Amino acid sequence: MGNTSIRKAVMINFVGKYSNILLGLVYSAILSRFLEPKDFGVVAVVTVFTSFFSLLANMGIGPAIIQNRELSNNDVNNIYSYTVYIGLLIGIAFSLFSIPLSMFYGDSVYIPIGILLSISLFFNTVNIVPNAILLKEHRFKLVNMRLVSVTIITAIPTLIMANFGFKYYSIVLHSILVSFVKFIWNYLTVKPQFHFRVDSDSIKKIRSFSSFQMGFSVINYFSRNLDNLLIGRFIGSEALGYYDKSYRLMLYPVNNLTHVITPVLHPILSASQFDKDKLFNQYKKVINILSVLGVFVSAFSFFAAEEIILIMYGNQWGLSVISFRYLALSIWAQMITSSTGSIFQSIGNTKLLFKTGLLSSALQVSSILIGVLLGDINSVALFITIGYNINFFITFFMLIKIGLGKSLVDFYKGFLPDIFNFIITFGAIFVVSQFRFDSLFISFGTKLVIGSLVYCTTLVFTKRYKILLMAFGRKKKKTKVS
């Protein structure tokens, strides 16, 4: 097993993730010009359910493999074989589920889409164990090479199909190709062995950890996807297409800034699971980085929402602007709280993670229901944003106070400089936004330049720039005294 530091792993992930972001933005921008909002809305409805079936198949197996240091190769192969059988059952079940799904939404198109997506469900399930092994062995460079390669390989046929008028089926093809290409890559790399007969003792070794992990994942799924379900059912698939586009765009910085760091936390920090002081000190460094980055992204995205959406996706997506603007105000809180799951896992307390998920889900479900009752996607986005920001305090109370036994007040004090930086940057971009520009590109560039200059100034004033220097700069070499 590798002995990789968090800093080195983050840098590897940084290169891989941001290469993939660039490719993904180009792919998404082109695809959005070939397809209509309704095409994305149709697939978004089914994706909600494929995500749920994937959770049922996963059962917390991946994190449990990473956390458990006593699994033998035979145990791993038994667990892999178990996922093959589960993948087959899940695939068949989802194919059958597409029939009542089509009846619920009153559209028979969901039947062929469901049958096709059951293929990707199968391959995603059998990818669980190889993915976990690669992370457990700290093979982050290989994981990121796979990430970029799969994006390139799968984007080309998808765009060709979209160009020839295959509509939402081109998006379905992309899901199948991504899961299949990952499977081929993982199989050739990890070389897992399939056993027709699975030894249940291997499953029992991870059951305690994985059961609470699965419970958290299931309730987190509902809180994250109920908005799509209800919008698609009560407001319409076209409205869902606009909302889904704004939500996914909001997730770009949340996922691609946060997930540069968080995927490496559990594999590395799990080695310190019995030393909470060391683990907490390492985690605070991670939190500081996420907070410093999230402040600017949240403020800029709020005021540049129109420019970002219209430049990236075209004028036909204008109805996504307001919902994206509201959701942008949740980016900072989401970036920070999204790292907490890895820490709950690292201290081996998935039971507390499950309890935290219950509280968070109750809050988010309430927020979504209020928004849907008001009858438009902008209301949903606004109340979800409020929910995410309240959830910030709930989650860290559970993790810092109960899980790690540390002072919550001292922890929150660490964010005061970033709150100050946010207020100043927010005000500066607000002033720029009062001027009207003839070109979207000029407007975008002006807000970006002015916002960046003001923000960098606040970083120097509050000395928060040192956090970024420590994260991405080189450490000073100690000189020996003879």
Q: Could you report the average pLDDT of every consecutive run of 10 residues in the chain (482 residues)?
A: 56 65 77 79 78 73 74 83 89 91 83 90 88 78 79 86 84 88 87 82 71 71 77 81 86 72 58 67 82 92 93 86 94 88 76 86 90 89 94 92 88 92 94 90 94 94 84 49 38
CA distance 115 to 109: 10
347 φ, ψ to 5°? -90, 5
Q: What is the pLDDT of residue 12?
A: 65
Residues whose CB falls within 8 Å of the CB of residue 175, separated by 6 or more in sequence, listed in order: 50, 117, 120
Under 8 Å between Cβ of 194 and 81:
yes
Under 8 Å between Cβ of 302 and 426:
yes
Q: How far is CA 289 from CA 13, 117, 258, 274, in A?
A: 15, 37, 9, 24
Is 168 buried (19+), middle (13-18) or exposed (0-12) by CB count in 10 A?
buried
- Three-class SS string for 30-52? HHHHHCCHHHHHHHHHHHHHHHH
pTM of the model: 0.67
CA distance 422 to 426: 6
Is 434 buried (19+), middle (13-18) or exposed (0-12) by CB count in 10 A?
exposed
Q: Estimate to the nearest angstrom the gap between the alpha carbon of 66 and the chain centroid.
A: 19
Which of 330, 303, 308 has the alpha carbon at shortest distance from 318? 308
Q: What is the pLDDT of residue 225?
A: 73
Q: What is the pLDDT of residue 479?
A: 41
Under 8 Å between Cβ of 98 and 114:
yes
Q: What is the pLDDT of residue 420?
A: 94
Dihedral through CA 7, CA 9, CA 11, CA 12, nearest 10?
170
Residues whose CB falls within 8 Å of the CB of residue 244, separated by 6 or more in sequence, listed in order: 40, 41, 44, 228
Q: What is the pLDDT of residue 236?
A: 80
Residues whose CB falls within 8 Å of the CB of residue 21, separated by 6 or more in sequence, listed in order: 252, 256
Domain borders along the chain are: 1-198, 212-472
Q: How many CA atoms lie within 13 Å of 347's alpha carbon, on the beta-carbon side?
A: 22
CA distance 287 to 302: 22
Q: Tell the residue number behind the tokens 């299931």, with chain if given.
A: 218
Q: What is the pLDDT of residue 480?
A: 43
